[in-house]
Every structure is written in C-alpha cells, then in structure tokens.
A and B are shown apart, each in its own frame.
Chain A
Amino acid sequence: MISQARNVIDFLTKQGVEYADIRIHELDEAEHISTMKGDVEKYELISQQGYGIRVLVNGAWGFASSEVMTAQAMEQAGKQAIEKAQAASQFIQQKIELSDKPCVNSHYRSPCEIDPFSVSSQTKLKRLLQLDSQLGDEKFDYWGVSASFYKRHIIYVDSEGSEIRRELIELDAKLYAYATDIDGQQQKRTFVMPQYADGTTGWENLLNDAQIDHTQRLRSELLSLLDAPRCQVETCDVILLPEMMALQTHETIGHALELDRILGYELSYAGGSHVDLDDFGQLQFGSHKLTARADGTVPNSPGSIGFDDDGVPARNVTLIEKGLLKDAITSRQMIMEANAKAGRAIFSASGATSRAQSYSNLPIERMNNINIDAGQDGDLEAIIAATKNGILLETPCSWSIGSNRENFHFATEIAWKIKDGKIAHVVRNATYRGDSLTFWHSLDQVGDESTWQLQPVFMCGKGQPNQIMRLGHGIPVCRFKNVQVGE
C-alpha cells in the first residue's frame, strides 16, 4: 500500500500541485459492546477502509476521499482534489503557505499489552457482564457498561518526502447507572474510564480491579443522590474534580485557543473566540496558578498519536504560563496566516495539532491533550480542608458555552457541599456558570500530583462536515473563588 501511496503523490506532483499528501486507512476497525441490566444490549463490529487526498493548488486546498482502493481510483480522487483546489483558488485573499517541518520517515504505535481484537468476544462479554452485575442495585432503573475498541493502521505520505505509519489502538469504556429520586426525577452517575499516562491502552485496562472499585463507588454515589438536598442558589467556592476539570478546560481553554477559530474560520458554525492575536504575550488569561499546555507527547492518551495529519511530530506546547497567554492550538497553515495577519512572529512552529477524524475528512486544528500543570496546594483533602463554604463538583451532565467561549453554563451529575473544611452532604442537580476569564482568574488552589489525572475524551465535535475527535485532558483538582452556583 505504501508504494501505491508514493505513486499517487508522484502523480500529483507531476500535475504541478504545490503540495500533496495522502492518508490511507489500511485497516480501520471498531468493536462496540454494551450491556444493560445483565443483558448484552449491543454487539457490533465495524470495518472500513479508505483514503483522503489533499492538495494545494494556486494557494488553495482541495480534498477528495474514496473507499475504492485501486490505483486508478486513487488517481481519480487526486484529480478531483485538484479540481476542488482550482475552484477554491477563485476566491482567496491570501495564498495558503505551510510552515517548515522536519521531513520524517517514522512510525508510531499506541502502547498496548493485549490487543483487544485478539481477545475473544466471549471473554469480553463475560468481563463486561461481570462489571454490569457489580454496578446493579434494586433501587436502580437501569445500569450497564459500554466499551468501544478501535484499531487503525494509517499510512501517511506527502510531497515533501515524509512517510509515516501509525498503528493506533484505543479503548473507550464507560459505566452508567440511572435511578429515580425522591421527587420522581431521574438521576444518573456515569464514569468514563480514565487512562494513566504511565499505562497502556489495551484490553488489560478492563481487567484490573480498579474497575470493580469504580462500580462500587458509582453505585453508592447514585444511592446517596436519590434523597440528597437540591443545589441552592449562592455564590461560593467551587472545587472541580477531574471529569469536571476536563470539561472546564476543554470548553473554556481548549476550544477558545484553537488558532483557526481565533482567526474566524469556525465563525459561521461553532463560533469565534474572545481571544485575538494581540492577546498573545499580553493577556493575563487566568491567575498565576494556571499553566496550561497542548501536549501531544503525553504517553497513552487518545490525544497522542505520534504525528499529526500534517506529518508534524507531536510537541508539548505551553499555552498559558503562570496565567499569561503564550501560544495556541496550531497547524502549519494557521501559524503562517496568523503571523502574517499580526505582522509579527507570534508562533514559531506548528503545534502538531492538525488532525482529521478519518480518511474522509480534511484535517483541522484539534485539541491533542490540553493539560493543566499540577500545583502545590496539596491533595484533595487539603483543598477541602482549606474551604470554608464551597461545593465539590463532578461529572458533566450538560454544557452550554457562549459563541466566543466567553461564558459558560454547566450542570453536573453529583456535588458535595463543603462547610468549614468538611464535606457536609451530597447535593443534587448542581449547576454553575461564569465568564471564562473571570473564572480562570478566580483559580486560587491547584492540587498536587496526587490529584492529576488523564481524562480521555472521545466525543469532541468540530468543523463542517462535523468531525468527532479523540483527545485527552491531564488535569489536577482545582478550586475557584466566588462562583455563581445553582442558577
């Protein structure tokens, strides 16, 4: 297949394109299994194959994809991509330029001990049903486990001489349980299996005892929610646990700092950003306790894939340092455009975040791992102990964010009221809202390494046609002062 890829690139180069690349999904398989109340709810196998060809002609992109794997069909798709670029070049203000990158001939493999696709369906079902049985309770309406396994072998070749092979394995596993509360309204607890930066991504993750512990924790949390007091409207300190911190970081740092979004390329659909180019190096985005990164090098995350779809090796980019905005989520194209627009070299190199959902999509800026550095304010107990009147929040239930990511409203599955340094009781239906910058400025406690966790995200949507992306957030537990809660 690699020689076929080289032939297409040669063919396109001979046609006079300024740049070309091809991504071939030689193998692209998924297996989805879910259980509900002791039954198998779904068992589905998905297999696909295809490729996408991207060309730059007269300074404009053209892209075409196909699932017909013959050399002839590839050439045809290449020609179609050229036609698309020619048409696009009829309406551009500024020719697309790509920043420099190293020419690489390399490969990347996800860290994996047991390939999930080598495990029999009976073995998988047996384990998932075991977890299902641990989660159930007579007071619950529904509960279950879902696990999706992904395996992709991707070949990348471009006209600058790079050749990259990626063998990716991903695991997305969840627990869920629903029960009716004393007001006759349904409450839920869900849990997305976190990944460990020092761990692996294979079937072995589902075998460890930690999963049993999670079923027990989730069960008791849901039981405690059923007659818990409802969230009161007040202004108080909030402490965000890892799943909530991941959402907060995702929506108000991650999406706000995508450079294509800052430039206005997502305006008609997802929206813009309250950040503009003048802010880099100037804007105090949050308190001095905030240091955030776009780190594609964290091992064992769905956001770490070795190289982006521009063929740029993964990097660890500091986005915000001690509260000061420094960099963005970037690609080869966008840094050239942004520097030209700003009239100064804000961005020195691509952050290697240009990624496509699959072979049929054009790569765009996507979060890889948007992480926050652990701090020095102790462990979770220490942060609780230092809180006089606060609320501890966990697991997103709903989220809505302003079109420039300037404000947000989040609802959570579970919360705990904190009074005088102690957890007083569980709280139902907790929500909080705020303005993004004010909120990050109110960050006053950042948990230590013991609170830092890598949270995988498999459902981030962006772009048109919409692309669902996999990524991660490595975040500590954090406390924010004086936040509006319960509205």
Chain B
Amino acid sequence: MAKHPMINIADTLITLNAFMRQQGICGSLTYRHEVSHMVRCGRSQISLNVSEEGEKFFIELQQGQRKISGSTTAQAGDVDKIQALILALNERLQYMPQVEHLTPMQAIAQGDLDRFNGDEQLHTIDSQRLVDLFKQTHQHFANEQVEISGAFSAGTYRYAIINTLVDNPICYQGSDYNIELVLQLLAQDKKEIRIADVGESLAQYQPNALIAELVRRYQLKLNTPRQDIPPGEYDVIFHADAFADLTNYLSYMALHGETYQYGMGMLQANKHKLGDTLFDASLTISDDPNDPDTLFGRPVGINGIARGHFPLITQGTLQNVYYSDKDDCDRFACHRNNDMNVASLKVHTGTGPADFDAMVKSCSKPTLYISFIHYMNITHAAKGEFTGTSRFGTLLIEDGQVKAHLYNQRINDSYHRIFNQIEWLSSQLSHVNMSNTYGMRNASSISCPQFVKVNKVNITGSSAPS
C-alpha cells in the first residue's frame, strides 16, 4: 500500500530539521499544500471551472534577537532547493538588526496530535459533479424567469510543522466543500435569493435538500410585494448567515489578542479586562476543536500551538482573546495561547424558534428579517461601529406573517449596542462558511444559531430607487 502523502512530508521535514541542526541553525519549517476545485456559475451557465494545486514551504530562522522568514514553492522531494533557501536566509540573518523584545523560539506541540481527516473524495472530485448542481438547479427552474449564479468549491489542505527544538513534526490534513447558489428573479424587479452550504466530507452534501430550500425561498419571494421603509430603529431577526458574519467581524475587532494589545480594535488592553461583562448574558461564544457541533476541528494551529476548549465570551463575559502571533506576543510580553487562523467558532444556541415558520409566527410587531449582510466594514474601531447592507432577501414580518420584501437596507450600528440587545437566539444550530480567505485553502466556518433576534437596530437607508 502506498504511504499516505503526509508521511513523505513528515520525512522531508525531519530531514530538513536535521540539516538545520547540523548547520547550527535555529528555526522552524511549515509545509502547506492545497488542492482546490472550483466551478462558478453566472447567467445560468458555467463561467469558470478550475483546479489548482499548490505546495509551499515556509521557513523562519532566529538567532538570538535576530529573525528572518522566507517561503518558496517546492515539492516535497525538492530537499536541495529548500536547503539552499535555508542557507540563503541564514546568510541574510546576520544582517538583520536585533529586536530587543524578541524571545527565544519555542518548541512546537508534541504528542499524538496528527490528524488525517481529509475526505479523499473531495481531493479527487470530478468537476462534472460540481457542474451538475447548477444543471440540476436550472432544470428545477427551467420554466421560471430566473438567472442562476453561484460557486461550488471543494478540496483538501494539509499542513505540517517542525522546528529545531523538537524531533517530530505535527501533521494535519483536512477537506472541505462550500457552496453558494443565487437566483435573480428577472420578472420580479431582480429580487435575489441565496442559499449556502459548507461541510467537511462529501457525505454531508445533499443537493436535493439545497434545491428544495431554494424553491421554498423562491415561492416566498414570488408572493411578497416590494416595499421600502423609512430609516430608523427596527427589531431585526438575523439569519445565521448574517449573524455569523457579524460574529466573524467581532472576532477580529474584539477577540484578536494582538489587536487588543495594540488598542486598535473595540477592546483595548488598558480599558477592557478578561472577566468584564461586555454583552447580553444570552451570548456565549467558544472555540473547541473537539466540539462535535463545529466543523474543521484542528488540534494544533499552523503556528504549532496545541488547541483545546477555548471559551471566548461566556454569558456576555469576556473569557479569552486569541494570541497567535509570536512577534506581537513578544512585543507585549504575553504568550501564544491558540491559533486564530484555524479557529472554529460556535455561537451557542438559545431557546428561540428553530425553523422559519416558527420564527415568522413569533413576530407580532413589525420586524425585519435580514438573511445576509453584504460588504460589512468597521467604520469606527474603538467604538465598535460597523456598517453593511442587507442582501438576498430582506423581509418585513408582522402579525406572524411575511408582509413584504424590502429593498436592501443599510445598517449603521455598534457591537456594544446590538450585542446587548439580543432578544433571543434560535435553538437550532447551523454551519456558515467563512473560508473566503486570501492565500492558500484553509477551511473555516462558524456554527451559529439559525436565527438571532436583536432589538432596535439602526437602519440608515436603502437601495430603493430615489
């Protein structure tokens, strides 16, 4: 039987590590590999069908308080090429100025931490299968005036890490797929609807269920009139896709330890302390690679730090922030405690409605339903202020019924306000893809209640024609 490719990588890293030690070099090596397949659809036809394979070695060398890093594309067998880069970097290292606060390199986590979780079927998936989802959707809507667009991405990613303070590398292999499917209703003022899916093995992929959900949303759209509302404060129910996006931005604004230390986010080390109550008691956010409710659990980060149960916000109280980067930690004399790059956040569920119909019935007063937030951005970091517009179906619900389909609405509000005005969180959890990252494939998702109701959200405008 052929050896698992990660065994070859581990052997290469051990060889290179031994080489560095022989040369008296202190350093670390990270190997990353990705296979990505993507099919994209626009105007009801396939617009892109691509496969990428990428393989990179990242090298970091440290000598006393001098440091240098480099990376190269190379295959696992290219030991000579990587050794040459190590030597070239080591030569330049001598000229790097000393950085006073730099602490010595630390050993990476050791032990039974290798995981080979990848679904081989996602590694070698035939692109016909990806194309078929769009074809099948088209068949369902063949008699309707709609245009189909979307993307289906699938692949695997591997990383392995070693440094000269340890003998053995830590290896991880994972796989993921993510899908977004959008309909534009040409005969209905170009209303848009979207569904999305994310998973770690092909067995989780259920095209019929996805299309059925799209049909349900389509019917709802057909039967609701367009309407606009004046700016003002509204109670809003965020769908998981929207609330996960809010949570994702919150993680960078408030849970990123380096930002916290630099004082560049909404929480600052000199003002906010672990243990402070920041948000409504209904809000609990954690990260745990062993939590079966989350996807992509990675026991060791790409930075070599072991990961375990990591409470972030517990009943509104700040428990932890992520420290992932050694250079920043050295500057503030703190220690790395995790790797935010491989986090799998979970927003804990509450007791609110579990499905769409129950959610609609629960609204007697006028309530907005926002399914997705487009182009979020932070307008004032220190105040936790952000903006973004709703998209893919903004509804007005009243008297337990969907009354209208609104134009996209712009939100201008702050985390301090809206995360303190949570009325309820749904009892149903769902996974939301977050892996729209730059660089190499790195699966990411947030597990989030299906719906979250927030009172008095500030709506400042809409896309209605003026």
Q: Which residues of A contact B (CB under 8 A)?
A: 36, 39-50, 60-68, 80, 83-85, 87-94, 120-122, 125, 129, 141-142, 178, 180, 184-186, 260, 263-269, 271-272, 360-362, 397-404, 406-407, 409, 411, 429, 431, 433, 435, 438, 461, 464-466, 468, 487
Contact = CB atoms under 8 A, between A and B. Distances in A.
A44 B69 contact: yes
B151 A88 contact: no
Contact of B92 (A63, A121, A186): A121
A119 to B, nearest CB: 13
B264 A464 contact: no
B42 A265 contact: yes
A186 B53 contact: no
Contacts of A88: 39, 46, 48-49, 127, 131
Contacts of A39: 97, 99-101
B412 A487 contact: yes
Contact of B149 (A49, A264, A403, A435): A264
B69 A465 contact: no
A465 B49 contact: no
A26 B346 CA distance: 44
Interface centre among B52, B327, B389, by most A CB within 10 Å?
B52
Given A46-B72, A48-B56, A268-B182, 17 more contacts: A41-B327, A44-B70, A47-B71, A64-B50, A84-B51, A87-B49, A87-B126, A91-B46, A125-B95, A267-B149, A360-B54, A398-B377, A398-B379, A403-B374, A404-B463, A406-B463, A438-B466
Given A83-B127, A90-B128, A268-B149, A65 B53 contact: yes
Nearest to B72: A47
A368 B380 CA distance: 31
Contacts of B182: 267-268
Interface in B232-279: 262-264, 268, 271
Interface string B101-130: 100000000000000000000000011101
A464 B387 contact: no
Contacts of B149: 264-265, 267-268
A267 B96 contact: no
A88 B38 CA distance: 11
B49 A93 contact: no
23 contacts: A40-B97, A45-B71, A47-B72, A47-B85, A48-B73, A60-B46, A61-B47, A65-B53, A66-B53, A87-B127, A91-B131, A94-B45, A121-B92, A178-B264, A186-B264, A260-B42, A264-B147, A268-B41, A271-B375, A398-B387, A402-B463, A403-B408, A464-B48
Nearest to A333: B47
A67 B53 contact: yes
A465 B463 contact: no
A464 to B, nearest CB: 5
Nearest to A178: B264
Nearest to A90: B131
B202 interface: no
Nearest to A68: B75
Given A40-B99, A264-B184, A487-B460, A67 B46 contact: no
A84 B129 CA distance: 11
Interface centre among B131, B327, B408, B466, by most A CB within 10 Å?
B131
**Those 4 A-B pairs whose CB atoms lie nearest each other, nearest first:** A265-B42, A185-B382, A268-B182, A88-B46
Given A63-B48, A465-B153, A487-B460, A50 B382 contact: no
B43 A263 contact: yes
Interface in B1-45: 36, 38-45
Contacts, number: 237
B89 interface: yes
Contacts of A411: 379-380
A161 B151 CA distance: 33
A112 B331 CA distance: 37
A400 B375 contact: yes
Given A39-B99, A90-B135, A93-B45, A407 B463 contact: yes
Nearest to A487: B460
Contacts of A89: 46
B45 A268 contact: no
B297 interface: no
B49 A48 contact: no
B207 to A, nearest CB: 14
Contacts of B405: none
A62 B327 CA distance: 42
Contacts of B54: 50, 67, 360
A487 B410 CA distance: 12
Contacts of B72: 46-48
B426 to A, nearest CB: 25
A468 B44 CA distance: 26
A39 B98 CA distance: 8
B55 interface: yes
A268 B38 CA distance: 14
Contacts of A404: 463
A465 B38 contact: yes
B72 to A, nearest CB: 5
Nearest to A185: B382
Given A45-B70, A141-B263, A61 B380 contact: no
A85 B96 CA distance: 49
Nearest to A401: B375
Nearest to B262: A142
Given A93-B44, A185-B383, A411-B380, A271 B374 contact: yes
Contact of B138 (A40, A91, A401): A91
A471 to B, nearest CB: 16
B118 to A, nearest CB: 19
B453 interface: no
B452 to A, nearest CB: 21
Interface in B44-84: 44-56, 67-73, 75
B424 interface: no
B352 interface: no
Nearest to B46: A88
A47 B317 CA distance: 45
Contacts of A91: 41, 45-46, 131, 134-135, 138
B49 A61 contact: yes
A8 B410 CA distance: 50
B214 to A, nearest CB: 12
A65 B53 CA distance: 7
B42 A268 contact: yes
A269 B151 contact: yes
A400 B182 CA distance: 21
Contacts of B305: none
Interface string B316-339: 000000000001000100000000
A186 B410 contact: no
A67 B92 contact: no
A362 B46 CA distance: 14
B280 interface: no
Nearest to B462: A407
B381 interface: yes
B151 A464 contact: yes
B263 A180 contact: yes
B150 interface: yes
Interface centre among B45, B327, B380, by most A CB within 10 Å?
B45
A62 B52 CA distance: 12
Interface centre among A83, A122, A438, A465, by most B CB within 10 Å?
A465
Nearest to A49: B73
Nearest to A66: B53
A271 B194 CA distance: 12
A135 to B, nearest CB: 16
Interface string B366-386: 000000001111111111000
A185 B385 CA distance: 12
Interface centre among A45, A83, A468, by most B CB within 10 Å?
A45
B408 A40 contact: no
Contact of A269 (B46, B126, B180, B460): B180
